[in-house]
Amino acid sequence: MSPEKLVYMANQIGRFFANQGEDKAVPAIADHLRKFWEPRMRSAILVHLAAGGRGLDPFVKKAVESLIGVTAPQ
């Protein structure tokens, strides 16, 4: 899956949770990514983040940053 598609999908998730405010949205986004994205998708979004994370909304970027070191759904 292309980085652009992953960014699009992650930002959609972020928009769903954004109205909860940063303190609740960031962990909720990260939790969703851990539970519902397969490891290859999470790895690819982390690679994109390492390359600068272009296009990621601020809450989403923070959520993806919190996934560093996560290898399996919880």
The angle at the Cα of 31, spanning 28 to 34, to the nearest 5 degrees, equals 155
Q: What is the DSSP letter of 37?
A: S
- Residues 16-70 pLDDT 10s: 999 999 999 999 999 999 999 999 999 999 999 999 999 999 999 999 999 997 6
Is the distance from CB of 39 to CB of 32 less than 8 angstroms? Answer: no
The model's pTM is: 0.90
pLDDT of residue 70: 60
Q: 25, 57 in Cβ contact below 8 A?
A: no
Predicted confidence band of residue 73 (pLDDT cuts 50, 70, 90):
very low
